Amino acid sequence: MPAEQTEKKGAERRGSVRYPCSAESFSTDNSCRPITATKREAWTAIIRDLSTGGMGIIVPRRFEPGTLLTIDLEDAARTSHNSFVVRVMHITQETENSWLLGCAFTSKLSEAELLSLM
């Protein structure tokens, strides 16, 4: 197979562009939890990036790929609150106490929905 047809290791495979998010864009009360858990069983979530297809979040615990999570997202002014169901696609340990989760929305967002979050 010619070199240009082989996939490079670490090559970008996402179907939609991810936009970085600043910490000031969202409330510090954003959270995530397994879809079967109650709100009292939620973990803090920092939104790292967003796209129409998913989001990257930093959380203080590991969730395995395939796990379905509910993400409760609030803007910094606390005027807009949204909940999303996502599937954990990949995980990377950031620090001793934090994990970056690459998550896919179970229902893809429209461009307008994405813009309203940012």
pLDDT in tens, 61-102: 999 999 999 999 988 888 888 899 999 999 999 999 999 999
Cβ atoms 96, 49 nearer than 8 A = no
Cα separations (Å) of 1 from 4, 8, 13?
Answer: 8, 13, 20
Structure tokens at 51: 């796209």
Cβ atoms 57, 100 nearer than 8 A = yes
d(C-alpha 13, C-alpha 54), whole Å: 13
Whole-structure pTM over 0.75, yes or no? Answer: yes
pLDDT in tens, 10-51: 445 556 788 888 877 788 889 999 999 888 899 999 999 999
Q: Check residue 1 and give its pLDDT.
A: 42
SS3 content of the chain, % helix, strand, coil (to 5): 15, 45, 45
Which domains occur in the chain, in start order?
17-117 (2.40.10.220)
Cβ atoms 31, 74 nearer than 8 A = no
